[in-house]
Structure 1
Amino acid sequence: MAEGKHTFFSILLVSLMVVVWSPAGDAHNITAILDGFPDYSLYNSYLTQTKVADEINSRDTVTCLVLPNAAMAALAAKRPLAAIKNALQLLTLLDYFDPAKLHNLQGGAVLSTTLLQTTGNEPGNLGFVNITNQRGGKVAFASAAPGSKPDATYTKAIKEEPYNLSVVEISAPITFPGLLDAPTASGSNLTGLLEKAGCKTFASLLSSSGVLKIFESAMTKGLTLFAPNDEAFKAPGIPDLASLSSAELVTVLQYHALASYTPKASLKTATGRLATMASSGAGKYDLGVVTRGDDVSLSTGVDSSRVASTILDDTPVCVLTVDSILLPVELFGKAPSPAPAPGPAATPPSPTPSPVEAPAPSPKKAKAHPKKHHSPPAPPASSPATESPSDAPAADEKAADDKSAAPAMLAGTLISLISIIVALVSVF
């Protein structure tokens, strides 16, 4: 009995250590997984080129319907990347389907949403895939478009990470009429798109400065544009852009663009600072990226601006709106430091209106100001990529709170689990 009690206690202790000390699981990386399977090298290559890989990696639950090289080559033949991206998004299901689930569908069929449906570019159910159990144990896939034939069938499993990622091979692409007829971004009217999206002032500056031609020539190779809306130019405290020289205005406008295709999903996974089309050297005129959940903001060193919406996402061009003008620190200097000071004054320091005690909160907050020196006065190259210098004190305080809270949470977890173990051992 004593030996059984000792064995039981040992098992529970090991379980306790695993629960408390095991690190959180890393996010899946679809391209790294497929690197080990040369039969899918072409599919994997297009995942990277179209940035669909970034969308897959940002999802908690996803099933990738992978095509072998021959089938992928037939799908991609002489088609623009924008069309291939549509096809790959339709092959990405936003649910977990391993072989067991595929062969035991409730009711014999299910309609699954895909990445293509989340773009909002396909009407009705065109962004859905119909999965059906057929005779002989076959599992067929077809578009939800009326009249679509189930030409694609399940072949084999490639990788499973229950219940987050499933990678399976299918025999053929899933398509519907019009899926692969996506227009190329080079044919888009950039100023027309901007004006329609409420960015008329920005579009006008691009045209009058000549920067529009620079952007249009970059559209065939790769361009990501961050367009401030019209309200951003009316915001309080915005510098007078008319006072800039022609060269400085061109620099500011080029600062709103990347010479690469970087949609919002790719910005979420970005590490380090991003070189803009205004960058002339290491750490000059670059941008930091701050991600909080589904929100993405761009940090300039002067301020930060939220990425609001997508105007155009056609590989290799992406046009996004931002809530404020991106002001490079090299031209406009670092963010002013006194901004947070008025906050504490609004809070009553004490229920007793003593003139001696009234100023008491001020020194406590004053200690927080030196934290601003974490954001150096030099160009943003030395600033952390994931922090907006203007928001540095708040970020530092939050990090400090998180760090101080972590030991307490860990201690509480340990005490609770040890109490459970002791109680269970006493039963034995």
Structure 2
Amino acid sequence: MPLLLQLQQLHRARQAKLSCGAPPPYLSVSARASPPAHHRTMSAQCVPLHSELSSEQLAADALSLSVDMELLLRRLAVVVAVVALTAATAAEGYNITKILGDHPEYSQFNKLLTETRLAGDINRRRTITVLVVANGDMGALSGGHYTLPTLRHILEMHILVDYYGAKKLHQLARGDTASSSMFQESGSAPGTTGYVNITQHRGGRVSFTAEDAADSATPSSFVKSVKEIPYDLAVLQISKPLSSPEAEAPVAPPAPVNLTELLSKKYCKNFAGLLASNADVYSNINATKDNGLTLFCPVDAAVDAFMPKYKNLTAKGKAAILLYHAVPDYYSLQLLKSNSGKVSTLATASVAKKDYSYDVSNDRDSVLLDTKVNSASVTATVKDADPLAVYAISKFLQPKELFKVTEDLAPAPAPEGPKKKTKKKKPSTTSAAAAPSDDSSAADSPDGTPADEVADKAAAAPSVLARWVTAAATVAAALALAA
């Protein structure tokens, strides 16, 4: 029996017993002496109850009902907890590389998703359908006939920006529909050439055809569902790659980009100077930009304000903090605004056993970067063209691996108090405290270790779950009592 129905029945039973104890309190004395017919009927119905049960028994029954309701509410809380945990697990997202990795027959398609950097784009999205092709049906996609940019366009045609599970495919309202693909959404497809037509045929067969496919092209057929996360992700196998002349057209290689020149012209001249002065760092970033790079460059005023701390870092620390501003993946501004999460940096791969990551979030139309030491916002777009994105930011990012974690990042925090004794210290000591090097104790402080971050998040989860359970139990009780 549903929990809410049990609660309602218990409540009605309790009201029936309590109503037999005395006339309603809102009746006058005369009315109580001579109750209306419907009250006399109710009283007559209650005579057997009064004749059989004593006041002690009635009290015991009331207590039993209260205990039963409490047990039911506890059961409801357990159900809510399971639902909340399931929802939290689903919210963590998915990994298309891992999903296809469990199916060796799609290994070639999976490899191309990684090489074209589309795997990351898929993982960051919700409500998406991926049309995969088995190794034996890849055709020209596996023969090295296309350049990487062209392959990206072709694969984008196989990623629909809507959810089409197997059930939905066989329940198309008019027997056919058109869905936009990532190729259409990227802006590279002229007109509507990035759309995919989905058609349901007699006998339940479903076919897929690119909007600009030649009349002689044979449609690709739905084979089976590989993986479905309802309304979020559907991975479907189709019989062969979609044919799209626009997607298969050669893509001109991007024009060479001089990072120093680009940064110097827009907002980040001082940061460009820091990169140019460190040959190894500049070489690392420059070699990454053609394969996918997002660079956050502090504006000139932010660099000027940070220079006293920067000068006190060791050579290793300076290299790490510059690489910390570079993310080895392309993030369009739209992706940054619509997705939140932790990103790794070039410093993550360059410095052994160090995290060097930060959180990207959005506040309305602003993109925020939080390092746990300080936070910065994206103030302007310097360049946003796949595979390179450069954004100007309001502050110089300070990694927790080099600086002490700030507990309160609220603007203009009140000072803890005068530190007269600090002024008496030697200048070198004061500078080191303000900007510890990569070898300082602050870098290894337990306050900023990744393990502590995990612990904080783990501690926060039960609190959120408790609020869910409490709220659900309260609502359930209110619904039962109102019935």
Q: TM-score, normalised by structure 1?
A: 0.66
Task: Write the distance in 1 (CA, Å) between the matches of 2:167 and 2:156.
Answer: 23
Match of 2:354 among 283, 304, 312: 283
- For 2:112, what is the secondary structure of its paired residue? helix
Residue type of the alignment partner of 2:386: D
Deviations 1:111-144 (A, max 9, x none): 2122333333434323322222345644332223
Counterpart selection for 1:109 from 171, 176, 181 = 176
Shift of 1:43: 1.6
Q: Does the CA contact (< 8 Å) of 1:226 and 1:320 recur in 2?
A: yes
Distance 1:293 1:43 in 2: 36
Alpha-carbon distance in 1 for matches of 2:222, 2:470: 48
In the TM superposition, residue 171 of structure 1 has moved relative to its aligned partner by 1.6
Partner of 1:305: 376
Q: 1:234 aligns with which of 301, 325, 345?
A: 301
1:276 is paired with a residue of what secondary structure?
Answer: helix
Q: Which secondary structure does the structure 2 equivalent of 1:239 belong to? A: helix
1:311 is aligned with what amino acid? D
3-state SS of 2:178 partner = strand
Is structure 2 residue 143 aligned with structure 1 residue 77? yes
Partner of 1:118: 185
Among candidates 15, 18, 21, match of residue 82 of structure 2 = 21
Distance change (3 Å), C-alpha of 1:153 and 1:89: same
Q: 2:238 aligns with which of 170, 195, 206?
A: 170
Structure ranking higher in helix proportion: 2
SS at match of 2:141: helix
Q: Is the 8 A contact 2:128 2:160 kept in 1?
A: yes
Aligned partner of 2:27 in structure 1 is none
The structural deviation recorded for 1:167 is: 1.9
Identity %: 27
User: Are the equivalent residues in 2 in contact too, given 1:110–1:132 (CA < 8 A)?
Assistant: yes
Q: 1:68 to 1:190 in 2, by over 3 A?
A: farther
Report deviation, 1:333: 4.9
Query: Which residue of 104, 110, 125 corresponds with 1:59?
Result: 125
- In structure 1, what residue type is equivalent to 2:353? A
Q: Are residues 99 and 21 of structure 1, via their aligned partners in 2, closer, same or farther at CA, if it must alter by over 3 Å? A: closer
2:303–2:395 CA contact under 8 A, matched in 1: no
Specify the alignment match of 2:471 in structure 1.
Answer: 412
> In 2, Cα distance between the equivalents of 1:47 and 1:422?
55
Q: Are 1:98 and 2:165 an aligned pair?
A: yes
Counterparts of 1:99 and 1:339, CA distance in 2: 48
- Which among 365, 379, 387 is matched to residue 443 of structure 2? 379
Letter in 2 for 1:102: L
Question: Relative to 1, partners in 2 of residues 1:203 and 1:126: Cα closer, same or farther, differing over 3 Å?
Answer: farther
AA matched with 1:257: A
Q: Secondary structure of the residue that 1:110 maps to in structure 2? A: strand
Query: Aligned partners of 2:241, 2:390: CA distance in 1, in Å?
Result: 30
- Indicate how the Cα distance of structure 1 residues 32 and 413 shifts in structure 2: closer, same or farther if over 3 A, else same: same
Q: Is the 8 A contact 2:376 2:397 kept in 1?
A: no
Distance verdict in 2 for CA 1:17–1:233, change over 3 Å: same
Structure 1: stretches of 5+ with no match in the other structure: 346-361, 364-375, 389-395
**Secondary structure in structure 1 of the residue aligned to 2:174:** helix
Displacement after TM superposition at 1:419 (Å): 4.9
- Secondary structure (helix, strand or coil) at the match of 2:386 reads strand
Identify the residue that residue 101 of structure 2 maps to in structure 1. Answer: 35
In the TM superposition, what is the alpha-carbon distance from 1:409 to its structure 2 partner? 4.6
Q: Deviations over 1:222-242 (max 9, x none)?
A: 56341427xx21359723489
| C-alpha displacement of 1:67 | 0.8
Classify the secondary structure of the residue corresponding to 2:108: helix
Q: Which residue of 2 aligns with 1:369?
A: none
After superposing the two structures, state which structure 1 stretch, 52-61 or 271-280, moved more: 271-280
Query: Are the equivalent residues in 2 in contact too, given 1:233–1:325 (CA < 8 A)?
Result: no
Classify the secondary structure of the residue corresponding to 1:107. Answer: coil
1:69 offset after TM fit, Å? 0.8
Confirm or deny: 8 A CA contact 1:255 1:326 kept in the other structure.
no
| Distance in 2 separating the partners of 1:290 and 1:55 | 16
1:153 equivalent to 2:226? Answer no
1:256 matches 2:325:
yes
The answer to whether the 8 Å contact 2:376/2:396 transfers is yes
- Choose the corresponding residue for 1:224, options 290, 293, 296: 293
Q: Secondary structure at the match of 2:305?
A: coil
1:139 and 2:210 correspond:
no
Alpha carbons 2:344, 2:357 under 8 Å: kept: yes
Equivalent residues of 2:128, 2:232 under 8 A apart? yes
Whole-angstrom CA distance in 1 between matches of 2:445 and 2:246: 45
Q: How does 1:220-369 map to 2 (within 5 A)?
A: 222=291, 224-228=293-297, 232-235=299-302, 238-240=305-307, 244=311, 252-258=321-327, 260-261=328-329, 263=331, 274-276=345-347, 279-283=350-354, 286-291=356-361, 297-300=368-371, 302-306=373-377, 311-314=384-387, 318-328=388-398, 333-334=403-404, 340=410
Closer, same or farther: CA 302–121 of 1 in aligned 2, 3 Å: farther
Q: Structure 1 84/324 Cα, relative in aligned 2: closer, same or farther at 3 Å? A: farther
Q: Is the 8 A contact 1:300 1:380 kept in 2?
A: no
Instruction: Compute the displacement of 1:161 (Å).
Output: 2.9
What RMSD in Å do the two structures reach over aligned CA positions?
5.0
